[in-house]
Structure 1
Amino acid sequence: MKRSVLAGVFVTAAMLASPVFAAGSDKDLCQINLDKINNGKALLATDTSGKSGEIDTAVSQAKSAQSAGDEKKCIEITSKALQDLQNADKGGPQ
């Protein structure tokens, strides 16, 4: 049940942020993805597969790309990290 509630919160947050995607720029999407990852990391609190470390690495790389002004790279990295978070929550491919 705990996973279902957390997944529901995650999906709801994503849906509420949807209008921002339509009106926002790449810079906004990069930051939104970073925020989603930060919020979603709570799902990995009991992770023993090492996925949390991979997500941390991705966040670090994304922030570096963002600082360098490479928003496209930041979005690419954060999108993959979000997918990894979703797969980890579903018990999917690790």
Structure 2
Amino acid sequence: MEDYILVEGFKHIRHQQQSFLEEEMIERTKSLYNWMDKRRSVRHFSNKDIPIEVIENIIKTASTAPSGAHKQPWTFCVIKSANIKKKIREAAEEEER
């Protein structure tokens, strides 16, 4: 059996149902919570170059989030310009006010 199916010519990864023991589910959810609880909003951007492969992997990961009818109606933009980053930060801060 293939690990994907074709829908209108596009590959869709076949869902593999997993079964976990209750103790394992509890431990996995605690681990995920502890990891996610370390997230923070960032409005000051580094001038350090990030390898494009890292950025692409982050975008691929974000694009796997569930959405209505699995349409993923979002757009991701990679911003390299320090001036544009500054304007985004200022706009975000203005929105909060």
Normalised by the shorter chain, which TM-score bucket?
A: under 0.3
The structure with the largest alpha-carbon Rg is 2
Instruction: Give the TM-score, by structure 1 length.
Output: 0.27
Flag the structure with higher helix content: 1
Select the structure with the greater relative contact order (CA < 8 A; seq sep ≥ 6): 1
Q: Which has the larger share of strand?
A: 2
